[in-house]
Amino acid sequence: MKVQRLTALLALLLGLAVLAFVLAGVPGSGTAPSGAGTRSVVPAERAAPTAPPAPANPSGLPEVKASELPAEARQTLGLITRGGPYPYSRDDVTFGNFERILPRKSSGYYREYTVRTPGESDRGARRIVAGQAGEKYYTADHYNSFRFIIEGK
């Protein structure tokens, strides 16, 4: 009787050890058993931030690929994706859309960000305006015109 209990206890311990080994190799656990066919897993908190999928152009405005924007605008897009820090105190503030060129949305829907202009002593005229749904617009002429930014291209 004691041998049967001891055998059952050893079988249970062996089963738990196998289960722990198998679970250690589950993707997303942060660890994997060593050996062929394994890959390292980067914890989410260390992974580079990525922008959510860009929405389709909801405005009907002309479009511009992000890769075609000035280098300073691409830098500003990167700051927006990372959540800052922003170089100007007026960055990441509500954009009122008083010109009514962008689609009409509720107050606070849009945020604006400065695109540095080389040679300017102040913020210059270039901005990126971002909507809560992820859409972004570029203006080179201080809100007189906008182009919808196609990100990832």
Kindly list the catalytic residues. Answer: 112, 142
Distance CA 46, CA 9 (A): 41
Distance CA 35, CA 142 (A): 58
Q: Which helix (H) or strand (E) holds 71?
A: helix 71-82
Q: Is 4 helix (H, G, I), strand (E, B) or coil?
A: helix
**How does DSSP classify residue 49?**
P
**What is the four-CA torsion angle of 48, 52, 57, 58, rounded to 10 degrees?**
-140
